[in-house]
Amino acid sequence: MFREKLHNSLDSVSPSPELLDRVSEMMAEEARKPKPKIFISAVKYGGMAAAVCLIVTGAVLIGGRDNIPSVSENSPVVTLSSVNTGVSEEIFIPTTENMREESDTANGSFDGLTDDTGQKEHIVTYENSIPRTRGIKGYRQRPRPTI
Amino acid sequence: MVFMTNLSLRTRESFEAVMRKYADMVYRLAYSRVGNTHDADDVLQDVFLRYIKADKTFNDEEHRKAFLIKVTLNCSKSFVTSAWKRHTDFSEPDENIGSEDSRLRKLEERSDVLEAVMKLGDKYRTAIYLFYYEDMSVSEIAKITSSSESAVKVRLNRARAMLKEMLEGVQFDV
């Protein structure tokens, strides 16, 4: 039978006594080693992780202050100033109050003006901005028909 | 202090008792997986070091045996697929083998049955060893090898078919 033959074959396979003694010594040496205490490790590595998180969060917050704009309510001009370098820059940002679109209020759909080539333009006007060369409050006058 | 000394002594004795009890089983299983005695020696050391590092609490002896079989299978697999093993040439014989030379040579002279079993694939070899040598049931083998019972049955049937071709006239007691 196969089972008996396999048993007879494998019974001769066994580890040498020298190997067993060596493994026994290794196990005894391993057993003598002090085990790392889980609580202390958790506090140690948890504290390190928390410190890293705090440092990263602080760095992000401090670095982000450079891009915080100083906005006055009545002026669409926003001043960007860097805390570190002291350099300030003024840019114009359109808001909902000073921005109007030329639109058809009857049907609610946008119907822009038509330029010389017959294409429609989307005109956005800004109050308190640089005055246009033509028209009032930025509205472009329609070209007069030539007779 | 006396209590601590007794405890460590008892722990060491229990580890050694476990090692003496299961060393043959672990060694044979490792041998059936890796195919030679040198590698089986390494796997045996690795298995018992992992056992002592794990420091698990076992419900009974069957639980401990299943743990050791599982660790042996994992260690053998890691050893066979390790980069060192794949890039090392074993074609030249090791001349530094001392007094164990005769024992090793004797072990290498395998019987026909063992030779045929060693020619099977890893998963078939493991199934045959656990079923016929360790007398484990199909469900136990499935649990240890993390596979389904039907997969184990298929492996056993295919292994028997291959062994019947290699060993003419062999009878399996299923």
A79: enclosing H helix or E strand:
strand A77-81
The answer on pLDDT for B38 being more than 70 is yes
Contacts of B15 in chain A (CB under 8 A): 27-28, 31
Averaged pLDDT score across all residues of chain B? 80
A115: enclosing H helix or E strand:
none
Report the half-sphere exposure of A20 (CA within 13 A, side-chain side): 16
Q: Coil, strand or helix: which one is A77?
A: strand
Stretches where chain A sits below pLDDT 50 are 101-110, 131
ipTM exceeding 0.90, yes/no: no
The pTM assigned to this predicted structure is 0.57
B113 vs B25 pLDDT, higher one: B25
- Spatial distance between the Cα atoms of B84 and B14, rounded to a whole number of angstroms: 34
Please name the member of A8, A13, A24 whose beta carbon is closest to the beta carbon of B27.
A13
- Do the chains contact at A24 and B113, CB–CB below 8 Å? no
Confidence of residue B7 (pLDDT cuts 50, 70, 90): very low
At residue B71, the pLDDT reads 93
Q: How many CB atoms lie within 10 A of CB B147?
A: 15
At residue B155, the pLDDT reads 94
Residues of B with CB under 8 A from a CB of A: 8, 11-12, 15-16, 19-20, 23-24, 27-28, 31-32, 37, 40-41, 44-45, 48-49, 52-53, 55, 100, 103, 106-107, 110-111, 113-114, 117, 128-129, 132-133, 163, 167, 170-173
Q: Cβ(A140)–Cβ(A123) under 8 Å?
A: yes
- Do the chains contact at B16 and A28, CB–CB below 8 Å? yes
Q: What angle do CA B86, B90, B93 make, to 5 degrees?
A: 170
Q: Coil, strand or helix: which one is B162?
A: helix
